Amino acid sequence: MYAIVAGGGKVGFYLAKELAERGEEVLVIEKDPKRCTYITEELGNVVLNGDAAEASVLAEAGAARADVIAAVTGDDEDNLVICQVAKLRFKAARTIARINNPKNAAVFRLLGIDATVSSTDVILSQLEQELPARSVIPLLRLRHADVEVVEAILPPNAPAIGRPLRELDLPRDCTISVVIRNGQPIFPNGDTRLAAGDEVIALTTPASEPRLRDLLLQPA
Amino acid sequence: MYVIIMGCGRVGARLARLLTEAGHEVLVLDVNSHAFWRLGADFKGRTMVGNGIDQDVLRRAGIERADAFAAVTQGDNRNIMAAQMAKYIFRVPRVVTRIYDPIRQDTYAALGLRAISPTVLGAEAILQALLAEPTQEE
């Protein structure tokens, strides 16, 4: 695999290091010449000094033959433009952008970026697991399909509690995949009854998520 | 028209004054409150401190009812991102963005963004002036 990493800060550096250690071909594009010297000393000749949002720099980096371009600078707007230029001018196979503002995930998706990663979101979902659940936690969004894997922990007064699953008015494009009860997974069928404290992992379209949330979390 | 201008540099401030003088409702957005001095004490429009690539900030600026949006900060990428949010998320009817880099201007113009490159326009104007016949005094 050939990966271009745009941005040689801490995230870009360790990403490139991990990829190189796995034997993948990697190139870091970094604006700051001093930072480039440091990366070269640590990782060898894997750095290109330049602005990754410039088409000429991406051309020199061989963006057209890259399997993936990961834009991991500290600025959302730079990461967006790097990925878009890579897509539009070089038909990049796959683009991944790091984002700081989690709300930019939807914006980036709409603007053609294949995947986004937000450390803010990752930490937030870790925190939410410690808090009484008031929302379903998105775990994963499947690429190329509008399907999310979400998680919710049932509060004692959730409407879904007590009745068999088949009697619940679940939205059609939504499946409860697994229920974790006392640390044990239960693969549910129509007869399964949910209980307070159950950790429910479900597949749903974004459109059906509010209805699912109401069933799993709203006080009855 | 209700016009939101992102970036209160020389161009943003001048644009804001021209629009208010023409009777338009204007809001100028900048990350730095000091930038608003350029508008002058008698500026008739509104100002707001905030980052225009944050959709919450854009909503607070009233983008959902805006007739036009101009992205004229110093950063090409910031302008490009804000302009695309205005056009594709908030469906603002008129969106114009400044992009210094001619190649990026070209890329985004092809994507349907109304993009103006001062580099291209400036070089062209200076070229024409250089090639023009010298006047008598010169």
Selected for mutation to probe chain A from B51, B54, B77, B79 (highest A CB count within 10 Å) is B77
- Based on its alpha-carbon atoms, the radius of gyration of chain A, rounded to whole angstroms, reads 22
pLDDT at B127 over 60: yes
- Tens of pLDDT along B25-69? 999 999 999 999 999 999 999 999 999 999 999 999 999 999 999
Q: Which of A76, A88, A111 sits opposite B88 (nearest CB)?
A: A111
Whether the CB of B30 is below 8 Å from some CB of chain A: the reply is: no
Q: Give the nearest chain B residue to A102 (CA atoms).
A: B54
Whether the CB of B105 is below 8 Å from some CB of chain A: the reply is: no
Whether the CB of B76 is below 8 Å from some CB of chain A: the reply is: yes
> Could you tell me the pLDDT band of residue B17, with boundaries at 50, 70 and 90?
very high
Q: Token match 């024409």: residue? A: B128
Whether the CB of B88 is below 8 Å from some CB of chain A: the reply is: yes
Inter-residue contact B47 to B40 (CB < 8 Å) = no
pTM for the model stands at 0.75
Classify each residue of B61-83 as buried b or exposed e, where b means 16 or more C-beta atoms within 10 Å of its C-beta. bebeebebbbbbbebbbbbbbbb
Q: Which of B88, B104, B110 sits opposite A110 (nearest CB)?
A: B88
| Helical (H) or strand (E) element with A48 | strand A47-49
- ipTM topping 0.95: no
B104 and A81: CB-CB below 8 Å? yes
B77 and A84: CB-CB below 8 Å? no
> Could you tell me the pLDDT band of residue A55, with boundaries at 50, 70 and 90?
very high
